[in-house]
């Protein structure tokens, strides 16, 4: 039995949800998001609460139950608060700056990296060593942050590179004489 699937998703004030077939559309102050559930679950909206229930007792229905409920909860969170990933840049000469809508990264490569964020995601650089990625789609925000981090992932000896703000880099000692 899914414990997370049993929990209903409450809609805060200012947020509306409409179900048509297997798809749900959530509208809020930050925008509109939708999700298409599989045929293994039912979606119902009653009194500003979204209920997700499985159709049958198959293993797949139980798997989709909790996942679908979490996806609906993420839609609600996205249109009310939004999602945010913060990145830090460590290393001598490594820096980030915004030029219009383009993020310009100096990462010790032979050329500067210009990164244009996809639609629906805003990238800002409040300091030269910080990057903030924000948006209403959790998957897209995470993917953009991962793409930026991939340009220079942190290395274990000096810790140079781009890392998530809450990430811990396991440091190694290096050679001994």
Q: What DSSP string describes 6-39?
A: HS-EEPPTT-EEEEETTEEEEEETTEEEEEE--T
75 CB-near residues (< 8 Å, 6+ apart): 24, 26, 33, 34, 35
For residues 79 and 34, the answer to whether their CB atoms sit within 8 Å is no
CA distances from 83 to 78, 86, 133 (A): 6, 10, 8
Whole-number pLDDT of residue 116: 94
Q: In what order do the strands lie in the sheet with 23-28?
A: 16-20, 23-28, 31-36
In a domain, 39, yes or no: yes
Same domain, 89 and 138: yes
Whole-number pLDDT of residue 174: 86
User: Closest Cα partner for 39 from 23, 28, 25, 59?
Assistant: 23
In a domain, 106, yes or no: yes
Whole-number pLDDT of residue 2: 64
Domain span at residue 147?
A: 83-164
Last residue of a domain, one of 60, 80, 100: 80
Whole-number pLDDT of residue 177: 80
Report the C-alpha gap between 3 and 167 in whole angstroms.
Answer: 29
Same domain, 54 and 106: no
Same domain, 123 and 157: yes
Report the C-alpha gap between 4 and 135 in whole angstroms.
Answer: 25
Whole-number pLDDT of residue 176: 85
In a domain, 174, yes or no: no
Q: What is the CATH number of the domain that holds 140?
A: 3.90.930.12
Same domain, 8 and 69: yes
Dig out the tokens for 34 from the structure: 């939708």
In a domain, 171, yes or no: no
Same domain, 50 and 97: no
Whole-number pLDDT of residue 141: 96
In a domain, 176, yes or no: no
Whole-number pLDDT of residue 146: 96
Same domain, 157 and 126: yes
For residues 90 and 160, the answer to whether their CB atoms sit within 8 Å is yes
Last residue of a domain, one of 48, 80, 112: 80
Our count of domains for the chain comes to 2
Same domain, 87 and 154: yes
Neighbours of 161 (CB within 10 A): 20
What residue ranges of the chain have pLDDT lower than 70?
A: 1-2
Last residue of a domain, one of 80, 113, 128: 80
Residue range 130-160, pLDDT digits in tens = 999 999 999 999 999 999 999 999 999 998 9
41-46 and 113-116 as β-strands: parallel, antiparallel, unpaired?
unpaired
pTM for this structure?
A: 0.88
């Amino acid at each position: 039995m899914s414990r997370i699937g049993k929990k209903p998703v409450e809609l805060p004030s200012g947020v509306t949800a409409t179900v048509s077939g297997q798809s749900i559309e959530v509208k809020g102050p930050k925008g509109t998001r939708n999700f298409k559930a599989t045929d293994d679950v039912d979606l119902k909206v009653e009194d500003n609460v979204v209920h997700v229930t499985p159709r049958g007792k198959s293993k797949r229905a139980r798997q989709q139950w909790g996942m679908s409920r979490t996806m609906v909860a993420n839609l609600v969170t996205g249109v009310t608060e939004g999602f945010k990933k913060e990145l830090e840049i460590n290393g001598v000469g490594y820096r980030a700056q915004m030029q219009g809508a383009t993020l310009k990264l100096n990462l010790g490569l032979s050329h500067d990296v210009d990164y244009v964020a996809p639609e629906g995601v805003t990238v800002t650089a409040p300091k030269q060593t910080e990057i903030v990625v924000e948006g209403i789609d959790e998957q897209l925000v995470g993917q953009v942050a991962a793409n930026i981090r991939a340009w220079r992932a942190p290395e274990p000896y000096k810790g140079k590179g781009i890392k998530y703000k809450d990430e811990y880099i396991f440091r190694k000692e290096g050679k001994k004489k």
